[in-house]
Structure 1
Amino acid sequence: MTNFILTATLILFSLSVQSQPNLSLKFDDIASGKVFLINKQNELIDTLLINSGNVTYDAIIPTPTLFYLIVDGYNTKRPLPLVLSDQLTEIEFKNFKEINENSVNEAYPNRPFFVLDPNNNAAFYEFLSNWKHFYNLIEKLSENDSPEQLEKRKNAYDSFLSQNKQIIKSNSDQYISAIIIDFLLRNNLLQIETLQEYYDELSLSVKGSYMGFKIGEKAGNAGRLQPGQPAPLFELTDSEGKNYNQQSLTGKNVLLHFWSSSCAPCIKEAPDLLKLSRDYANNLVVINISLDTDNERWITGIEKAGIGHMINVCDMQGLNSVIAKSYDVTFIPVYYLIDTNGNISLKGTLEQVTEKAKNGMP
């Protein structure tokens, strides 16, 4: 009899543990409809029904995982990122708005109110506020490219990075910090040396997570292109119709500079790139490879950066271009220095390339 009672108790306890949901949503103005939850690790989609303004989600989530939340007919263009785990996340939404525009100004008007937030998702929405403020400020400061305006843009960018680093540092043991870094990477808002600094802030558990490992790869901790290896072959045609490949550049140091017109750090360091090109004109061939997908934006970007007299290449394929894939380009700006023997001498930042040049290359 005692064994029976003990077994029944264990079963009831097990059921009670299993029945605890991972997510609870409450809408004050949406009584019915559908919610889609997209698991960004495996891209599986769960469809949930809104019942009298309430939604619950119960699944096995052994480790913190990024999901995208979409309310059918409301925010398809701007899914809400949420990190869920085996602990309950409870959210309330007031006056959930339909998003018709895909602009940054219209982005994420539906801020969650977290009743329970074990994964500290609130930190991501604090970051989003910083991002929108930074974007709007840069828009206002982009009316012209006077030295004063350029300096203000640099200061705005530095301030933006400082704010975000503090958020990541304060949440170094939370998976959400890796999600913030990934967002910055996908929007070309981090340079390589900054990425490494951010990655170093993450705890060991976050570094070992799904997103942490991906960031580690991008930071160069598991990169396949290392100094001393033969540089991947390339065939490039510049804006003037001239062709470049390893054979035509034999015996020369070559710098492949991957950038785009929408990359704020790329534009920021253009003056330093120009100086490097001038200082080592007899010993270095610089090829600017844009990952733009629009010809007009590319041309405008060249003019804005002041690099029109240099070698400029773009096949309008973005990250899908052959050379971007060959050189494992997942974020910009990034530089590959190739020595006179056709081997990779350095993969890194403009600052690192400049230091290498000062020391005589390769």
Structure 2
Amino acid sequence: MSRSLSVTLALALGFAVSLAGCDRESGTDAQPQGDTTATQSAKEGPVSRKFAGETLPEFTATDPSGKTLDLASLKGQPVLLNLWATWCAPCKAEMPVLDAIAGEHQGKLRVVTISQDMKGAEVVTPFFTEGKFAHLEPWLDTKSDLSFNSGTSDLPTTFLYDASGKEVARVTGAFDWEGEEARALISEAMGGAG
């Protein structure tokens, strides 16, 4: 097998694995997984507090017009930070709910959604136009630096930070942002104000 064919196959396999992570919560399994009860109970589930206390990352996102947002500058207000992509079905499904949360808690909770799409504004701008989001801004991270630096490869991943800029919890994969658990997490990040 030639070296270029080996490299191409390795890249294709890596891409396929990264795509599989996105949709793992979105329906039936591609193949039967057997009894996963034991492994699921060993995991924390979609909500993790493993990184609680970590500070807002040093990262600057850009919007399609070139405006920038320094995440560290958000310290002083609670933040819901969502990493998503237009090719990720669960990500797209939760965007209208995140928009509603941003509207409901406007001035009390900053909701920041950062696309991990390599094509950036080319795909994000039409998605935002079609979605008619009233409270979300189309922040971009075309190199997925934020995903890599935060140690996550699954999308969506959402981080909740309190007003001191400390992580409260992170949520990986599809999640019911309209449910009681989500409301409790948001309230906790907001210091009990809801």
- Please, what TM-score do these two structures have when normalized by structure 1? 0.39
- The verdict on how the C-alpha distance between 1:260 and 1:356 changes in structure 2, with shifts beyond 3 A counting, is same
CA contact (8 A) 1:337 1:353 kept: no
Aligned residue number for residue 165 of structure 1 = none
Aligned match for 1:189, one of 23, 26, 41: 23
What's the CA shift for 1:336?
0.3
Aligned residue number for residue 160 of structure 2 = 337
- The verdict on how the C-alpha distance between 1:358 and 1:201 changes in structure 2, with shifts beyond 3 A counting, is farther
CA contact (8 A) 1:225 1:327 kept: no
Matches within 5 A, 1:198-213: 201-202=35-36, 207=39
Aligned residue number for residue 354 of structure 1 = 183
What's the CA shift for 1:262?
1.3
- The verdict on how the C-alpha distance between 1:292 and 1:283 changes in structure 2, with shifts beyond 3 A counting, is same
Q: Which has the higher strand share?
A: 1
Q: List gaps (5 residues or longer) in structure 2.
A: none
What's the CA shift for 1:227?
1.6
One-letter code aligned to 1:277: A
Partner SS, residue 188 of structure 1: helix
Aligned residue number for residue 292 of structure 1 = 117
Superposed CA deviations along residues 127-185 of structure 1, whole A, max 9, x for unmatched, are xxxxxxxxxxxxxxxxxxxxxxxxxxxxxxxxxxxxxxxxxxxxxxxxxxxxxxx9696
Aligned match for 2:62, one of 237, 245, 250: 237
Q: Tell me if 1:312 matches 2:138.
A: yes
Partner SS, residue 189 of structure 1: helix
Question: Counterparts of 1:259 and 1:224 in 2: how far apart (Å)?
Answer: 20
Matches within 5 A, 1:67-82: none
Matches within 5 A, 1:9-20: none
What's the CA shift for 1:200?
11
Partner SS, residue 138 of structure 2: strand
Q: Tell me if 1:325 matches 2:152.
A: no
Q: List gaps (5 residues or longer) in structure 1.
A: 1-35, 37-44, 46-69, 71-77, 80-181
CA contact (8 A) 1:238 1:313 kept: yes
One-letter code aligned to 1:265: P
- Please, what TM-score do these two structures have when normalized by structure 2? 0.68
Question: Counterparts of 2:115 and 2:129 in 1: how far apart (Å)?
Answer: 13
Matches within 5 A, 1:1-362: 186=20, 188-191=22-25, 201-202=35-36, 207=39, 226-295=51-120, 296-307=122-133, 310-317=136-143, 321-348=144-171, 349=175, 350=177, 351=179, 352-358=181-187, 361-362=190-191
CA contact (8 A) 1:253 1:284 kept: yes
- The verdict on how the C-alpha distance between 1:314 and 1:246 changes in structure 2, with shifts beyond 3 A counting, is closer
Identity of aligned residues (%): 23
Q: Which structure has the higher relative contact order (CA within 8 Å, separation 6+)?
A: 2
CA contact (8 A) 1:277 1:286 kept: yes
One-letter code aligned to 2:24: L
